[in-house]
Structure 1
């Protein structure tokens, strides 16, 4: 990603001016991670913030029974890490697909926010959107069936365009929906058989959004 694309992404994510985007970009460094790379381990001291440009980052907790539970999943335009101070992280942070991010030390971001009100306003909007997403996922866990959660997560990930490129890893999608890989695989296969989605090596496309939405129960 060149500097023009980075500045455009920051302006969009933070809803800020080009000048503020340039200040953010100057304070951040670009990094990429391969699928399943671990950015930081549960219990380590975190001292960074990341903002996602491409791919997804999953925050996974290893419980006392040794099972992995999904705490949160962050995609383009979303932030994760430690803020406003360095502290122990409560989960592993793992790359899904090929993850591209801009990263900044927590202390540097805190200092930048004290100087630039426009960046602070943008950050509050990002965190507000993420808070709502967490509530949506909690509500889905309480009210939806396992298949319904898979379909809701598929709709959320595909967005308004109805496409996911490259296609999602089924195990990762199932984890995001807080169900098993087997359940996720059966749910996606059922959609393909009915022609509600199309999937190949390059992308997953929602053919009938209305029919898919009706299955979110």
Structure 2
């Protein structure tokens, strides 16, 4: 039975790899064969800042955050990882130093590969190389956007921007489930109190509305004008 369950997991991982890298089944089989499935419980530290790594992690299930700690002790969200994202050593020929703690936000399952093996596969198969390039460009754009907002916007403005971003990514300008205040504050590098006051003020003005476990942006135009 354990062997059968592992076989199912390998099949699921192979199909996932094929979708993520947009590669044929035989190439996905090579990637999966070279990797190892690993599971991490919610709140587990997957990687620690300062670790020397030679492994790449492909996130299959769950979410993870890359977290830094500022000089004054404040936690800073560096990256968010979801299914299909990579973290760890990304193609380095030698061991790379991990730049942040990576913490499991949910129960997480990954496919772990040697970074050198992944780099070799990228050289051999254009689909993998192209997918890696796209992933890294998307991460660079997200990081640049986050850096700009932290530099150019006030803390309140960053809360407004994050709520609008999440609503636009949902259905009918609705965030489902409603964002947790502590998580919202972490995303925009502010205090929980500031995030809470900002959300409450928007709700009082009728710009957002809570419906059960959802939060809807009722007036996206007005919210966008408040991003300062």
TM over 0.5: yes
Residue 13 of structure 1: how far off its partner (Å): 3.3
Note if contact 1:51-1:77 (Cα within 8 Å) is conserved in structure 2: yes
Residue 27 of structure 1: how far off its partner (Å): 3.4
Equivalent residue runs for 1:55-70 within 5 Å: 55-70=62-77
Summarize deviations over 1:183-215 as a string: whole Å, max 9, x none: 2222333444436243655x5555554454344
Residue 130 of structure 1: how far off its partner (Å): 0.8
* Structure 2 gap ranges (5+): 1-7
Note if contact 1:196-1:211 (Cα within 8 Å) is conserved in structure 2: no
Summarize deviations over 1:72-111 as a string: whole Å, max 9, x none: 2233432221122322212111122444433323232123
CA–CA separation in structure 1 for the residues paired with 2:117 and 2:38: 17
For the residue of structure 1 that corresponds to 2:190, the secondary structure is coil
Does the C-alpha gap of structure 1 residues 15 and 93 become closer, same or farther in structure 2, counting only changes over 3 Å? same
Equivalent residue runs for 1:24-63 within 5 Å: 24-63=31-70
Does the C-alpha gap of structure 1 residues 53 and 64 become closer, same or farther in structure 2, counting only changes over 3 Å? same
What is the match of residue 196 of structure 1?
Answer: 208
What is the match of residue 104 of structure 1?
Answer: 113
Residue 64 of structure 1: how far off its partner (Å): 4.2
Instruction: Provide the aligned length of Structure 1 versus Structure 2.
Output: 216
* Structure 1 gap ranges (5+): none
Please give the root-mean-square deviation of Cα atoms over the aligned residues, in Å.
3.2
Aligned residue among 111, 129, 138 for 1:120: 129
What is the match of residue 148 of structure 2?
Answer: 139
Residue 129 of structure 1: how far off its partner (Å): 0.9
CA–CA separation in structure 2 for the residues paired with 1:15 and 1:209: 35
Residue 32 of structure 1: how far off its partner (Å): 4.0
Query: Mean alpha-carbon deviation: is it higher for 12-21 or for 69-78?
Result: 12-21
CA–CA separation in structure 1 for the residues paired with 2:46 and 2:58: 13
What is the match of residue 5 of structure 2?
Answer: none
Aligned residue among 170, 174, 186 for 1:175: 186
Residue 132 of structure 1: how far off its partner (Å): 0.7
For the residue of structure 2 that corresponds to 1:216, the secondary structure is coil
Task: Establish whether residue 73 from structure 1 lines up as the match of residue 59 from structure 2.
Answer: no
Structure with higher Rg: it is: 2
Residue 149 of structure 1: how far off its partner (Å): 1.4
Note if contact 1:174-1:180 (Cα within 8 Å) is conserved in structure 2: yes
